[in-house]
Amino acid sequence: MYTVTKGLNNNIVMARAEDGRECVLTGSGIGFRKSPGAPVLEQQIEHIYYGLDKLQEKWLYLLGQCSPVALAVSRSILQEAERRGKLHLTPVALIIISNHLTCAMERTREHAPVSSMLQEAVMLVYPDEYQLSKKSFSLLYRKYGILIPESEAVILALCIVDAASNGCPGHLTAAQKAAEDILELVRHNCNVRDDAETLEFTAYIKLRCWLVSLGKTHHSVLEIPDEMLDILYSKIVGSRDCITAVANYLADKFQYTMQQEDILNFLLRLNRIV
């Protein structure tokens, strides 16, 4: 028997087992109207997690922020991936996918969808992940009447790639390492949060590093005023030093020079996670 110590949302609770060990329980509706001290029915439990470290606690905190609808759709998507047998997803896949779906629904309500500029590249490199992400949006609409713009499928596909344990071809491995280095530079210079938006920022950086490594970057002819960048620099503490560090890294690693469009896109996304 398990006793609730803290409810995270309708589908996740922190609990204490009969032997006194602390654990986290997940299951559909397991936390609904559960107060500390309430018992948990065995048939409600889908997964039990013991001995979580600090990183795992952060993952579970993110899971606690997910919409119940996003969790339900994510479970269906993971079952679909398992049936197809093409993708081998890690245990954190539920969290990564659920967080993106939650953010996608929020952006849709706010009429602020992500850009689809990278759609063709993602469809080419990650066709299975892209189709799976589109399947999740189809489920959202069919079951819950929630219509998500197709451009969101790009980031969700990258989130699925992030949750996979298939391994990467050589050029993707190099881009992955570059993305990790850049994220470390960002964390060193700016006070970023650990939440769903940060996961999407991470996915964006990884894809940009991959495109840069292949020389497949694209820039519009739009001229960006320095004043616009100055406003963002002044708003985001440490961002100027951050951009300088990232620009130097890309120049050394890939002989790539950041353009004003790169800087603007980077700052706009950075502004959402500080």
The 10s digit of each residue's pLDDT in 177-199 is 788 889 899 999 999 887 656 76
pLDDT, residue 166, reads 44
Q: What angle do CA 202, 206, 209 make, to 5 degrees?
A: 135
Across the chain, what does the average pLDDT equal? 79
Q: How confident is the model at residue 238 (pLDDT cuts 50, 70, 90)?
A: very high
* Six-digit token string for 227: 């004043």
Higher pLDDT, 139 or 154: 139
Give the mean model confidence (pLDDT) for residues 130-137.
89
- Rounded-to-integer distance, Cα 34 and Cα 26, Å: 13
Strand intervals (E) in the chain: 2-9, 12-17, 22-26, 39-40, 47-50
Q: Are 9 and 31 within 8 A, CB to CB? A: yes
Cα separation values, 272 from 62, 178, 216, 256, Å = 16, 21, 26, 25
Note the Cα 246 to chain centre separation in Å: 21
Tokens of residue 28, six digits: 């559909």
Give backbone dihedrals phi and psi of 237, rounded to 5 degrees, phi first: -60, 130
Q: What is the pTM of this model?
A: 0.52
91: confidence class by pLDDT, cuts 50, 70, 90:
low
The CA R_g of the chain, rounded to the nearest whole Å, is 20
Residue type, 76: S
pLDDT at 151: 77
C-alpha–C-alpha distance, residues 257 and 201, integer Å: 20
Q: 13: helix, coil or strand?
A: strand
CB atoms within 10 A of CB 163: 21
Mean pLDDT of 241-259: 91
Mean pLDDT, to the nearest integer, of 109-134?
A: 74
Q: Is the pLDDT of residue 209 over 90?
A: no
Q: What are φ and ψ of residue 13, in 5° steps?
A: -135, 150
Q: What pLDDT does 167 receive? A: 43
What are the backbone angles phi and psi of residue 148, rounded to the nearest 5°? -105, 135
Calculate mean pLDDT across residues 81-109. Answer: 77
Q: What is the pLDDT of residue 240?
A: 95
User: Is 54 or 202 the better-scoring residue by pLDDT?
Assistant: 202
Over residues 116-128, mean pLDDT: 72
Distance, in Å, from the CA atom of 109 to the CA atom of 178, rounded to the nearest integer, reads 34
Name residue, tokens 């020079």: 257
Q: Nearest to residue 80, comparing CAs of 13, 8, 135, 130? A: 135
Largest CA distance in the chain: 65
Structure tokens at 113: 């969808």
pLDDT value of position 217 = 59
Distance CA 91, CA 48 (A): 12
What is the spatial distance between Cα 39 and Cα 4, in angstroms, rounded to a whole number?
A: 6
Residue with the larger pLDDT of the pair 16 and 161: 16
User: Mean per-residue pLDDT for 224-240?
Assistant: 90
Output the six-digit token pair for 229: 């960048």
